[in-house]
Amino acid sequence: MSTCTSASASLAEPVAATAATARTWLLIEQPGPWGAKALGASRLDPATGRELERLADGAGTRVALIRRPGRHADLHLPRRHRVYLAHTAPGASWVRTAEVTDPAELTALDFTALGAGAHNGFGDAYDGAPLALVCTNGKRDRCCAVRGRPLAAELTASGGSEVWEVTHLGGHRFAPTMLVLPYGYTYGRVDAHHAKDVLEAARSGRMVLDGCRGRSAWDRPGQAADLAVRELTGEDRTAAVVVEAVERTDPAPSGDGTWAVRVAHVDGRVWEVTVAQVASLPPRPESCGAALGAPARMEVTGIERVAGGRGL
């Protein structure tokens, strides 16, 4: 039986510029089963889940549940929950961590400040290995479970990284998908060997371009421009490239259109990248069981060095 991942792969659908957008991630440990919309369908109190979603909406912060890889018994025992808070902006990336008895405590956080990069002393600084978050929520899409769980298990068995399963990273058809924190780069169609290379690079503040869906700190046009400049220059340092401005130009009634994206390098070089939104054809399912559709794709149509920028 065909799946959304096999359909996407057979069409050679690009993974670039498909990452979920979030400057800051709030990740809450919640063992046991997850529903399709896990914040309201898990052992987390549904009222707490709804309030966290409300607070995060429009604040630049994305909330997700995490659990350790392996078998997940449907336990009802009270326990403390590990929490990670991660900000992904270049040059200002950080991870904080704490344990809470009741996730409802997290509703007291200032979500707007979190999205802007201010943790306000939450928890303790996390200085361990990069966090690897692998999407495994089979209730959301079966491909995430079938492909994601073996990847999470193998990364855990190999050691050297802090590995968690996560409820949702978007882009089921690119499973297995993996988010790397603190830098916020997301990867699609990633196997264990590739994932280990990505995590090894992250340990030294670098990213791997192959299979990269984009940096969550940027919107989708910004993700496309960031990756295009990195491909042009060979730059892999996570803090070396910054999306300075994204301007919508020539919007089309259909929702397609173009953007002018200004991208700067820490050495002073600046580029203007033209990005167009186009429909992916022929139609394909965006998730298993869904009707055929033409998901939007960001296509870089031009990249030009801006005169007057510093650097070589």
The residues, any chain, with a CB within 8 Å of residue 47's CB and separated by 6 or more, are: none
User: Rounded CA gap, 103 and 91, in Å?
Assistant: 30
User: Rounded CA gap, 63 and 260, in Å?
Assistant: 30
12: tokens are 């050679």
103: tokens are 């996730």
pLDDT in tens, the chain (312 residues): 579 988 888 988 999 999 999 999 999 999 989 998 999 999 999 999 999 999 999 999 999 999 999 876 555 555 799 999 999 999 999 999 999 999 999 999 999 999 999 999 999 999 999 999 999 998 888 889 899 999 999 999 998 779 999 999 988 899 899 999 999 999 999 999 999 999 999 999 999 999 999 999 999 999 999 999 999 999 999 999 999 999 999 866 666 789 999 999 999 999 999 999 998 888 888 888 888 888 889 999 999 999 765 544
Distance of CA 23 to the CA centre of its chain: 10
Predicted pLDDT at 286: 82
CB contact at 8 A, 5 and 141:
no
Phi-psi region of 232 (alpha: psi -120 to 50; beta: other; left: phi over 0): alpha
Predicted pLDDT at 249: 92
The residues, any chain, with a CB within 8 Å of residue 136's CB and separated by 6 or more, are: 69, 144, 145, 148, 149, 152, 165, 166
User: Rounded CA gap, 194 and 208, in Å?
Assistant: 9
Predicted pLDDT at 252: 65
299: tokens are 């296509």
Predicted pLDDT at 71: 75
Predicted pLDDT at 160: 73
Predicted pLDDT at 312: 41
CB contact at 8 A, 39 and 50:
yes
